[in-house]
A and B are shown apart, each in its own frame.
Chain A
Amino acid sequence: MKWDISKINEWKSDDFPLGAVIPDSGNSRDYVTGGWRSERPVRDDDKCTQCLFCWVYCPDSSVNVVDEKVTTFNLDHCKGCGICAKVCPSDAITMVPEGCELPEVR
């Protein structure tokens, strides 16, 4: 059974596991690390050739691929480094500032 941390903000000192261990595996997925991103990638589906360069180069495995096709970016873990935009051979990815009006990309 997966370690349930849904109420972690209500836990008291005694509720936390001894010595700050994490008594479970595969939970880095649950740890949201994209909060300090200042720019986010936006992909133009018309320009994209599905070469998957972005998926190969992303250092945070934040390019979501379904059936060998890029679908969305995982913004819970994307740090906005811009490598995907840099390596894209067809200029299909642009980095836009966080906080501005955006079409929903998730």
Chain B
Amino acid sequence: MPTQKTVAATGNTLVAEAIRQCNPDVIPAYPITPQTTVVEELAKFVANGKMHAEYVNVESEHSAMSAAVGASAAGARVATATSSQGLALMWEELHVAAGMRLPIVMFNANRALSAPINIHCDHSDVMGARDTGWIILFAETAQEAYDNTIMSFRIAENKDVLLPVMTTADGFITTHSIDRAEVMDDETVAAFVGDYVPVNALLDPSITVSHGNFAGLGGPYFEFKRSERMAIERSRGVIKSVGEEWSKISGRPFGMIESFGMEDAEIAIVVIGSTAGNARHVARDLRAKGVKAGVVKVRCFRPFPYAELAAVLSGVKAVAVMDRSESFGAEGGPLFLEVRSALYDLATRIPVVDYIYGLGGSDVKTELIDRVFNDLSDIASGAASPSGLVYLGAR
């Protein structure tokens, strides 16, 4: 019988708890703000015998992901965590992990990238890894960070998927704020995640296998990339079914996207991560005044939920995309490019405006969200869209 306990804890504490409950064999990790407390908690669990993992103190994130790749190829369930510059330093191994089809689970505390140096939240780090072949989940709350982390193991290790999963939460806002959350009992999580049965394990004496092979010069590199694409496409169904399964156990719903007010919305904001809460708060106030405002939160960024977004946005008159990262020189931020592409095949052209916001932890006040909805109301009643992207709240 699943038993949940209500706790007050930070996002990082809950992510560490989720990782402990999923019982990885190896944790190669390097601390970086604002991920540090995750790996501190994990190190304590191992030191105090509350977890039977091999905790590897590596000398950098490049080594952390290299060790994760090695341990996963050997046949271990592997978890790690990072943030910002650390994720950037892992860049080449991120591709290796996905290309070798290793189901590593990594938590990322979303943080800005240098320069200038900044330790606060934005999505530049994760968006820099969006094309590495990893499945990428974004949490809005500490609760969602906990739940997403547990589901990540099931998604990654599914035999139709076998891809690494990055489960993320907004640095400081979600990782360090104390929030109320429901924590599941150990037995239920262990049963949900199941025992890890590796494929092609180097340490399995019953098979002979070599990893990390050459496939160039007319070799099948091209075909291997295609099979990666096919795997991440298959993951769509797996992410949904794992979400439904965990939803039945936990009582909390999990879709690729989460909608608010979209049943009759005329204007809508599409947003990722912790700002979804602010956006819903403002939309609720506007709806009380009769404005048909809606919010769509994108929970799964890779694979991107094109069909779901097109369906939910098809009736609206104007859409604002809120991007917490830049794609310098592109027509908009990473989320904007995806959303507008998702809407391209609709019969009716919907105006889409991009708002770059909150870079380096820049405060996202409700007044700013108000402004976005006001712009959308103007566009919906025939005003011209703001030309170019808008740096929301920048001086």
Show the binding face of A for B, using Cβ within 8 Å.
8, 11-14, 16-25
Q: Which chain B residues lie closer than 8 Å to A21 at the CB level?
A: 100, 200, 209-211, 213
Measured between alpha carbons, how far is A23 from B226 in the docked complex, in Å? Answer: 20
Query: Smallest Cβ distance from A86 to chain B, in angstroms?
Result: 29
Contact A22 B213 (CB under 8 A): yes
In the complex, which of the residues B99, B208, B212, B223 contacts A23, with contact meaning CB atoms closer than 8 Å?
Answer: B208
Contact A13 B227 (CB under 8 A): yes
Contact B101 A19 (CB under 8 A): yes
Measured between alpha carbons, how far is A19 from B199 in the docked complex, in Å? Answer: 10
Measured between alpha carbons, how far is A24 from B208 in the docked complex, in Å? Answer: 5
Contact B230 A13 (CB under 8 A): yes
Q: Which of chain B's residues 216-272 have a Cβ closer than 8 Å to chain A?
A: 220, 223-224, 226-227, 230
Contact A23 B224 (CB under 8 A): no
Measured between alpha carbons, how far is A26 from B250 in the docked complex, in Å? Answer: 50
Measured between alpha carbons, how far is A20 from B220 in the docked complex, in Å? Answer: 9
Q: Which of chain B's residues 184-222 have a Cβ closer than 8 Å to chain A?
A: 199-200, 207-213, 215, 220
Measured between alpha carbons, how far is A36 from B200 in the docked complex, in Å? Answer: 33
Contact B207 A23 (CB under 8 A): yes
Contact A22 B210 (CB under 8 A): yes
Q: Which chain B residues lie closer than 8 Å to A22 at the CB level?
A: 209-210, 213
Q: Which chain A residues lie closer than 8 Å to B208 at the CB level?
A: 23-25
Contact B101 A12 (CB under 8 A): no
Measured between alpha carbons, how far is A24 from B212 in the docked complex, in Å? Answer: 14
Contact A8 B210 (CB under 8 A): no
Given contacts A21-B200, A23-B200, contact A16 B224 (CB under 8 A): yes
Closest B residue to A18 by CB, please name it.
B101
Contact B211 A19 (CB under 8 A): yes
Query: Smallest Cβ distance from A24 to chain B, in angstroms?
Result: 6
Measured between alpha carbons, how far is A17 from B210 in the docked complex, in Å? Answer: 11
Measured between alpha carbons, how far is A11 from B276 in the docked complex, in Å? Answer: 46
5 A-B pairs whose Cβ atoms sit less than 8 Å apart in the complex: A18-B200, A18-B227, A19-B211, A20-B99, A21-B211
Does B38 sit at the interface, judged by CB under 8 A? no
Measured between alpha carbons, how far is A8 from B223 in the docked complex, in Å? Answer: 11
Given contacts A21-B200, A23-B200, contact A16 B223 (CB under 8 A): yes
Q: Which chain A residues lie closer than 8 Å to B226 at the CB level?
A: 13
Most-contacted residue by chain B among A8, A13, A17, A24 (CB, 10 A): A13
Closest B residue to A8 by CB, please name it.
B220
Most-contacted residue by chain B among A11, A14, A22, A25 (CB, 10 A): A22
Contact B200 A14 (CB under 8 A): no
In the complex, which of the residues A8, A14, A19, A24 contacts B100, with contact meaning CB atoms closer than 8 Å?
Answer: A19
Closest A residue to B225 by CB, please name it.
A13
Does B68 sit at the interface, judged by CB under 8 A? no
Contact A12 B223 (CB under 8 A): yes
Q: Which chain A residues lie closer than 8 Å to B26 at the CB level?
A: none
Contact B213 A23 (CB under 8 A): no
Contact B210 A16 (CB under 8 A): no
Query: Smallest Cβ distance from B200 to chain A, in angstroms?
Result: 5
Contact A11 B209 (CB under 8 A): no
Measured between alpha carbons, how far is A14 from B226 in the docked complex, in Å? Answer: 9
Query: Given A12-B223, A19-B99, 8 more contacts at CB 8 Å?
Result: A11-B223, A18-B162, A19-B102, A19-B200, A19-B211, A20-B220, A21-B210, A21-B213
